[in-house]
């Protein structure tokens, strides 16, 4: 996975609450057995509207989404996270996320930041103006920066470490491969006696 340390990019506002995984990537795009080609399905039905924010410059190059509460609700589609990342999204900021979607973000290296609704609303307003749509995110400092303003955010230390190092849970487990093999050898011999 690609480590996330700092990122600056165009933020697009998608303030609607309860934006579910079927809207993020409709079911007809779930037929693949690999992770390739999912970007074409991201927000497929919303893209049919020429006024949809991601159809218009500068938001057509957005890498950050500012979203409404309970983002990613619905079915537990890891495809939604994979598709968003393939489309170029590096971070999502919202007042709250559906639990499984939030976990899928962690497992795949997509920064999901939950912040107070007032802060998210302020960022959403800034994102709607092309002059202020570019924001920065500093994961080390846990802050979002736009112009002279910044907003702090909380993130659990373990999640932050995974993102900074560009690792998933499997990679972290494999760091202990020698200890695991030693345990398995000893555990196996104890079971025989």
Give the pLDDT confidence of 44-92 residue by residue, as tens digits: 999 999 999 999 999 999 999 999 999 999 988 899 999 999 999 999 9
d(CA 94, CA 112): 8
Mean pLDDT, the chain, whole residue set? 91
| Per-residue model confidence (pLDDT) at position 9 | 98
Residues comprising the chain, all counted: 193
Predicted confidence band of residue 172 (pLDDT cuts 50, 70, 90): low
**Tens of pLDDT along 87-126?**
999 999 999 999 999 999 999 999 999 999 999 999 999 9
What pTM was computed for the model?
0.88
Place of tokens 């609450």: 17
Confidence check: pLDDT of 141 > 80: yes
Determine how many CB atoms are found less than 10 A away from the CB of residue 107: 14
**Tens of pLDDT along 19-29?**
999 999 999 99
Confidence check: pLDDT of 158 > 60: yes
Tell me the CATH number for domain 6-167: 3.20.19.10
How far, CA to CA in Å, does 53 sit from each of 62, 137, 176, 181, 184? 10, 21, 45, 51, 53
How far, CA to CA in Å, does 156 sit from each of 22, 110, 114, 116, 139? 28, 14, 11, 16, 11
Q: Would you kindly state where each structural domain of the chain is located, as residue ranges?
A: 6-167
| Per-residue model confidence (pLDDT) at position 175 | 60
């Amino acid at each position: 996975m690609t480590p996330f340390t700092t990122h600056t990019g165009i933020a697009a506002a998608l303030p609607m609450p309860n934006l579910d995984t079927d809207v993020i990537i409709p079911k007809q795009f779930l037929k693949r057995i690999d992770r390739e080609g999912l970007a074409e399905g991201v927000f497929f039905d919303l893209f049919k509207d020429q006024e949809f924010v991601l159809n218009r410059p500068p938001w057509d190059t957005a890498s950050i989404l500012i979203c409404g509460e309970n983002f990613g609700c619905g079915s537990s589609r890891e495809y939604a996270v994979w598709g968003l990342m393939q489309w170029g999204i590096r971070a999502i900021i919202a007042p709250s996320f559906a639990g499984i979607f939030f976990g899928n973000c962690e497992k795949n290296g997509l920064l999901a930041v939950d912040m107070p609704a007032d802060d998210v609303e302020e960022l959403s307003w800034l994102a709607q103006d092309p002059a202020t749509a570019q924001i920065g995110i500093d994961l080390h400092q846990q802050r979002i920066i736009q112009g002279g303003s910044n907003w702090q955010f909380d993130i659990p230390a373990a999640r932050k470490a995974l993102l900074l190092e560009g690792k998933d849970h499997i990679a972290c487990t494999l760091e202990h491969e020698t200890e695991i093999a030693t345990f398995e050898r000893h555990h196996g011999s104890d079971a025989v006696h």
